[in-house]
Structure 1
Amino acid sequence: MWLEILLATVLGFVIYWFVSRDKEETLPLGDGWWGPGPRPGPAAEDESIRPFKVETSNEEIDDLYQRIKKARVTLPLEDSRFHYGFNSNYLKNILSYWQNEFDWRKQVEVLNRYPHFKTKIEGLDIHFIHVKPPQLPPGRTPKPLLMVHGWPGCFYEFYKIIPLLTDPKNHGLSDEHIFEVICPSIPGYGYSEAASKKGLNSVATARIFYKLMLRLGFQEFYAQGGDWGSLICTNIAQMVPSHVKGLHLNMAFILRNIYTLTLFLGPRLQKFFGYTERDVELMFPVKQKILNNSMRESGYLHIQGTKPDTVGCALNDSPMGLAAYILEKFSTWTNSEFRDLEDGGLLRKFSLDDLLTIIMIYWTTGTIVSSQRFYKENLRGGLLADKNHWMKVRVPTGFAAFPCELLHVPEKWVKVKFPKLISYSYMARGGHFAAFEEPELLAQDLCKFVGLVEQQ
């Protein structure tokens, strides 16, 4: 009891100190060069925006099939399901479908459904899709919206939400808000070039994406993201708040150490922390110990935050290994209880075609290693070591709290870092991959938030 009181007192002091710091700060814009060799003169970089198409070849597909055919599947444990990682028995089904039914050429056509582009920024070829509304009511202009993915996802996660935002009326939604959507690939992910130099973190990526939006002619825009996309969009808002009309997140990077302390103290101090009953349900589920769950799901974080290239060598050489490593996240990060199922619950929210399309983007571009390096670049010295992780965000903010997210963040905690929080929603269902899992729910919450911004 006395230990709880002491910890609560210390925590209260820390909260008071942090909240009372009300100095308005912004991240310095800075500059960078991530391409190979020394930086050329300022006039040397080609700033043109070039159309791009996803392509494939017989050689690429034949090589994939040969590797799948020669794959050595691990001997499964009885009744292991997804508790030891990807279930070896179900992995055989994935490999069979991949080789005998999955049509990569058809999925390439799906990928090219939206316009793709590339442009050089800070020495890197940055890939993005740019989708404009097919039609607009008279006198209306679309709202520019930057949407940023995370790991192990990619721009393809947004393919189902894009039509809901750019053409809402034809998809059963209100057309009060119509968007022009820009989805870039983080450098080193998919079709965006990887950095040749150390140090490309979320702040550098935020600056690159801000430059991208300026190059496209947008002086003001909305930003939305989860996972790394949440941090990148947050950094943009910290860097150039006058250019961000509104920030919408489905994951928030907050004071992790204090958050962990609250988990140790448990729900008994609910009133002290100001948690709602729903917060308690999501933070302290009856069926599992949340700290054990965090440990169980964070092994990848330690590997990728320290030695990403080592495991990356294996993943870049084996399509089976790559699929097992990534798809396991699409199981347990969608719903932690899916680890109790033989198939990991993968088909409850996704199709195998969609899941394998994401795997193929990593496989054909050879970017699993460079995508994992993003963890090391952001975790140098600890995620909260940099000043920007403590800096408040002073743009209108909306937050969608999906119930199966890895860690639930109560409204009170979100508001500490985002004092202009004007919308906080407990979502009805969904997990970590919000746009991919529940595109309609996310689109509706985003539109609600934008409506509140424009009422101000």
Structure 2
Amino acid sequence: MGVLGFLLRTSIGAIVVIAALLAYKIHNLSVTGPLPNLSDNEYWGPGSGSNYIESTEIKAFDISVKPELIKDLEAQLARPLILQEPLEGIGFEYGFNSKYLKEVIKYWRFNYLPKWTEREAYLKQFPHFETQIQGLRIHYIHVKPKSTKGKKVVPLLLLHGWPGSVREFYTIIPLLTKPNPRSDYVFEVIAPSLPGYAWSQGASKINFGPAQIALVVRNLMLRIGHEKFLVQGGDWGSIIGTNLATLTPQNILGFHANMCFSNSLLAHIYKLGRSWFPNIFLKEEHRDFFKTYSEDLLFLVEESGYFHIQATKPDTIGTALAHNPVGLAAYILEKFSTWTNPEYKMLKDGGLTKRYTMDELLDNIMIYYVTNSITTANRIYSEAFSFAQLSLNIEKVHVYVPSACARFVHDVSLSTDNEWGLKFKNIVHSTYHREGGHFAAMEVPQLLYDDLVDFVNKVLH
């Protein structure tokens, strides 16, 4: 009995010590980290910048495309399209189905391009501007509400992601800038093309990641005249918005994300817990929103090939796609299939026109093509996961800005409030939508608008 008692007491003591060490480690993981020291006037343009004098001028920007570029595109689309036949019985499981790609190219050549004047006019419907920030030409759309009677005007920064563009916001902008009886607020919308995307100049220097981009777009808002503003974003827009709320909280009235991304070690521990014990970690009505940990890993293996390429060799894949309209369309549109609904990959047409029109999709492709921006857009992946960016440890810095997480059931990555709350300490709005996927602003604009308005009503009451 004495030996057994000693062994029992020793075992209990060891368990207590291990539990205490584990609790200490977890506590350390949950403590906020220091803000990184970043310059908000660092020069990112070509050359040394030693003689750089920044122009603060804001100019109207003409997005017109040179006719010779359209002529060349017509010639390229007219070339014989020799593609490998897809495997029998296959939809988009192996990538873009080549039979359907021929239909897309046919539509692009014979239906879309003949009405390019009309499509270009559509893209020009909002005021476009440019200005110079930290050595980079930054393009943005700026739409003010025409009617503000009885409403308070709030500046709203809309941030897109990859492989999207400002084209994602063309349906939601009119909703945001028109008074709505549901709210006392109407929005003044600023939607920049992220640096390296579309008409915004890409950096000429390395280590220009989401943290540095956040400072550029904050400086853009200050240039326009807004010291305080709301932020809404998905995909990279969500990550850049997170960096804004982290680095410059004094400027942020509220942050609304439709991809609530958690990548800390502790968040992954939580994800493992909800995978093993969903009954404990998840409400019953939300369980089907979340994959198990093994399903998440399988999804990453199946769907993140583009990510590894762009995070390691963005210029190689960029070279393969630049001025290659067929390859560019296949590469980008495949994401609008799988990321809208993963089940669409089982369909021979990828379900592309279930949620979008072909004109909408080709508008986005055209923006990448006519600006030759696919390479510079891809580089954000390499810079975001560089040692220099990761060493900033921004993920560990807590955010106290009022925040909202809008989850759309088919999005590629979803976090619970517990996981997102490891960083965001003031979540005032949390929703689950059984419609929509990754490109919510383009796919379900009314739903995203309503969610944002509900958040703003809580924050600015």
Per the normalisation by structure 2, the TM-score is: 0.90
In the TM superposition, 1:162-201 aligns within 5 A as 162-169=173-180, 174-201=182-209
- Work out which of the residue numbers 141, 146, 171 in structure 2 matches 1:160: 171
Quick check: 1:283 aligned with 2:290? yes
Q: Does 1:219 align with 2:230?
A: no
1:55 aligned to 2:67?
Answer: no
Offset of residue 269 of structure 1: 1.7
Find the counterpart in structure 1 of residue 54 from structure 2: 45
Q: 2:432 aligns with which of 418, 423, 426?
A: 426
| Alignment RMSD (CA, Å) | 2.4
Query: C-alpha distance in 1, partners of 2:301/2:21?
Result: 25
Q: Does 1:78 align with 2:88?
A: yes
Offset at residue 16 of structure 1 (A): 3.6
Cα displacement (A) at 1:290: 3.2
Say which SS state the counterpart of residue 142 (structure 1) adopts.
strand
> How far apart, in 1, do the equivalents of 2:37 and 2:286 lie?
31
Tell me how far apart the structure 2 counterparts of residues 188 and 302 of structure 1 sit (CA, whole Å).
Answer: 19
Shift of 1:8: 11
Structure 1 residue 293: Cα displacement: 1.5
Structure 1 residue 195 displacement after superposition: 1.3
Indicate conservation of the 8 Å contact 1:146/1:221, yes or no.
yes
Change in 2 beyond 3 A, CA 1:412/1:135: same
Superposition pairs of residues 19-168 of structure 1, within 5 angstroms: 19=30, 21-22=31-32, 25=35, 28-41=38-51, 44-70=53-79, 71-102=81-112, 103-138=115-150, 140-168=151-179
Deviation string, structure 1 residues 193-229 (Cα, Å, up to 9, x no partner): 1111212111111111111111111011000101111
Cα drift, residue 275 of structure 1: 2.2
CA distance in 2, matches of 1:296, 1:263: 19
The more displaced of 192-201 and 248-257 is 248-257
1:367 correspondence with 2:386: no
Amino acid at match of 1:198: I
Q: 2-side partners of 1:133 and 1:428: how far apart?
A: 31
Aligned-partner Cα distance in 1 for 2:136–2:39? 18
**Aligned partners of 2:276, 2:394: CA distance in 1, in Å?**
32
Per-residue deviation at 1:446?
0.6
* Shift in CA distance, 9/280, structure 1 to aligned 2, threshold 3 Å: farther
Name which of structure 1's ranges 89-98 and 247-256 shifts more when overlaid on structure 2.
247-256
Structure 2 CA distance for partners of 1:330 and 1:375, relative to 1, 3 Å: same
Percent of aligned positions that are identical: 39
Deviations 1:57-92 (A, max 9, x none): 331111111111224323222112100000111001
User: Judging changes above 3 Å, is the alpha-carbon distance between structure 1 residues 118 and 181 closer, same or farther for their aligned structure 2 residues?
Assistant: same
Instruction: Name the counterpart of 2:243.
Output: 235
1:3 is matched with none
Task: Summarize the Cα distance change of 1:368–1:413 in structure 2 as closer, same or farther, 3 Å threshold.
Answer: same
Alpha-carbon offset, residue 244 of structure 1 = 0.4
* Aligned partner (choices 253, 257, 261) of residue 249 of structure 1: 257
Residue 283 of structure 1 deviates from its aligned partner by 1.5
Q: Which of the two has higher C-alpha Rg?
A: 2
1:11 and 1:104, CA in 2 relative to 1: closer, same or farther beyond 3 A? Answer: farther
Please tell me whether the aligned partners of residues 138 and 192 of structure 2 are also in contact (alpha carbons under 8 angstroms). yes
TM-score, structure 1 as length reference:
0.91
Superposition deviation, residue 17 in structure 1: 3.1
Alignment partner, residue 218 of structure 2: 210
- Measured in 2, the distance between the counterparts of 1:267 and 1:99 equals 47
Residues 276-314 of structure 1: CA deviation (Å, up to 9, x unaligned) = 22443221379x933212211111110000001111111
1:29·1:239 contact (CA, 8 Å) conserved in 2? no
Q: Determine whether 1:439 maps to 2:445.
A: yes
How many angstroms apart in 2 are the aligned matches of 1:344 and 1:382?
A: 38
CA contact (8 A) 2:147 2:179 kept: no
Classify 1:431/1:382 alpha carbon distance in 2 versus 1 (closer, same or farther; 3 Å).
farther
CA distance in structure 1 between the aligned counterparts of 2:319 and 2:423, rounded to whole angstroms: 38
| Aligned 8 A contact 1:383 1:389 in 2 | no
CA–CA separation in structure 2 for the residues paired with 1:9 and 1:347? 55
Checking the alignment, whether the CA contact within 8 Å between 2:384 and 2:390 is kept in structure 1 is no
Cα distance in 2 for residues equivalent to 1:247 and 1:55? 33
Provide the rounded CA distance (Å) in 1 between the counterparts of 2:105 and 2:395. 41
Q: Which amino acid aligns with 1:113?
A: Q
Q: Which runs of 5+ in 1 are unaligned?
A: 1-6
Q: Is the 8 A contact 1:266 1:284 kept in 2?
A: no
**Aligned counterparts of 2:178 and 2:193: Cα–Cα separation in 1:** 23
Query: How far has the Cα of 1:261 moved from its partner?
Result: 5.1
- Aligned match of 2:29: 18
Which amino acid is 2:363 matched to? T
2:315 aligned partner: 309
Q: SS of the residue aligned with 2:255? A: strand
- Segment drifting more, 175-184 vs 72-81: 72-81
Cα deviations by residue, 1:349-374 (Å, 9 ceiling, x for unpaired): 10100100000000000000000011
User: 1:389 deviation in Å?
Assistant: 1.8
Instruction: Tell me if the contact between 1:49 and 1:119 (Cα under 8 Å) persists in the aligned partners.
Output: yes
C-alpha distance in 2 between matches for 1:191 and 1:178:
27
